Structure 1
Amino acid sequence: MNVPGEDQYRTKGVTYCPHCDGPLFKGKRVAVIGGGNSGVEAAIDLAGIVEHVTLLEFAPEMKADQVLQDKVRSLKNVDIILNAQTTEVKGDGSKVGGAGVS
């Protein structure tokens, strides 16, 4: 992402492996950055573990394969926000609390 707060909150909520770290977020609300194949696959996988996923894509449309887009759009606990440029990672100093987007 290369945004303020990313390094500070790495391993405190900012992770890069949904398969490795997804179970740590069981029952929580998470955000996935990116609407390409990797981001959409992460959102799909996490949707089976977490309470809610917000998928943030900076472009006006997702770039993932159509079959993945169809699947992620069918999931009731996933919201997709397009034209959402991630600008920062916010937190309380010990864990992530949210992301700034424009």
Structure 2
Amino acid sequence: MIAVRNDVAVVTPSHDLDAGAGDLLREVLTEAVREHLHVIVDMHAAPTIDSTGLSLLVRAYNEAKARGGTLSLAAPSRYVVTVLHTMKLHHVFTLYPDVDAALRAVS
């Protein structure tokens, strides 16, 4: 679930970011933020998100920011983008169309 590209952790959830993914996603995001300055969450295989997923992303974002790092989202679905807008989180997370665009931005 974590790959490292150019010293950037790329976390790729394999399904929706919901309560079912909570424990594993929490562990993976915590590890990624602890070990890497920049973290990209590749959302291409996670078409939906619920409050649990949002909470985990916000927590990881805050931890990354506190360490002087970043956490951004790549390839979020239209649904995820809508949820981010609804929750006023589209100003928090930097969104990229794909991982390559996110990697170019943090290089």
TM-score normalized by the length of structure 2: 0.45
Higher relative contact order (Cα pairs below 8 Å, separated by 6+ residues): 1
Task: Please state which structure has a larger fraction of its residues in helix.
Answer: 2
* Greater C-alpha Rg: 1
Q: When the two structures are superposed, what TM-score results if normalisation uses the length of structure 1?
A: 0.46
